[in-house]
Amino acid sequence: MNILVIQGSPDPASMSAELAQVYTDKARQADHHVEAIDLSHEPNFDPVLRFGYRRHMDDETLPNRWQEQIRRARHLAFFFPIWWTAEPSILKGWVERVLTPRFAYRHDQGKLMETGLLGGRTASITTSCQGPAAYVRMPGGVITRWKYFILGNCGIKLIHTDILGRMDSTKDTPERREAFERRVLANMPKAC
Q: Are strands 33-38 and 2-7 parallel, antiparallel or unpaired?
A: parallel
**Whether the predicted pLDDT of 192 surpasses 70:** no
Each residue of 92-147: pLDDT tens digit? 999 999 999 999 999 888 777 789 999 999 999 999 998 888 888 888 889 999 99
**How many other CB atoms are found less than 10 A from the CB of residue 161?**
19
Write the single-letter amino acid at 106. R
pLDDT for 65 = 98
Distance of CA 25 to CAs 17, 31, 79, Å? Answer: 12, 10, 14
**Whether the predicted pLDDT of 36 surpasses 80:** yes
pLDDT for 117 = 96
DSSP readout, 143-158? HHIIIIIIIHHHT-EE
Q: Are strands 50-53 and 115-116 parallel, antiparallel or unpaired?
A: unpaired
Phi-psi region of 36 (alpha: psi -120 to 50; beta: other; left: phi over 0): beta
Q: What is the rounded CA–CA span in Å between residue 73 and residue 132?
A: 32
Contact present, 127 and 79 (Cβ < 8 Å): yes
User: What does the pLDDT average to over 159-164?
Assistant: 94
Phi-psi region of 31 (alpha: psi -120 to 50; beta: other; left: phi over 0): left
